[in-house]
Amino acid sequence: MADNIKIEIVTPERYVISESAQIVMAPGTLGEFGVLPGHTPFLTSLEIGKVRYKDAGGHERIVFVSGGFAEALPDKVTILAESAERMEEIDYERAKAAYERARERLESRKENVDYARAQAAFYRAAARIKITDSGGTLH
- Which one is the CATH code of 91-132: 3.40.50.10310, 3.40.190.80, 1.20.5.440, 3.30.70.270? 1.20.5.440
* Fold of the domain built from segment(s) 5-87: ATP Synthase; domain 1 (2.60.15)
Structural domain boundaries in the chain: 5-87, 91-132
Q: Mean pLDDT over all residues of the chain?
A: 90
Rounded to the nearest 10 degrees, the angle between the axes of helix 92-107 and helix 115-132 is 150
Average the pLDDT over 79-108 and give the result.
91
Higher-pLDDT residue of 44 and 128 is 44
Q: What is the structure's pLDDT at 107? A: 87
Average the pLDDT over 99-103 and give the result.
91
The answer to whether the CB of 88 falls within 8 A of the CB of 18 is no
pLDDT tens-digit map of 110-130 = 777 788 888 888 888 999 898
Q: What is the structure's pLDDT at 105? A: 87
Q: What is the structure's pLDDT at 136? A: 38
Strand partners, 61: 53
Average the pLDDT over 85-89 and give the result.
92
Does residue 1 surpass a pLDDT of 70?
no
**Sign of the torsion angle spanned by Cα atoms 64, 68, 120, 139:** negative
Give CA 78 to chain center in angstroms.
13
The answer to whether the CB of 23 falls within 8 A of the CB of 1 is no
Does residue 135 surpass a pLDDT of 90?
no
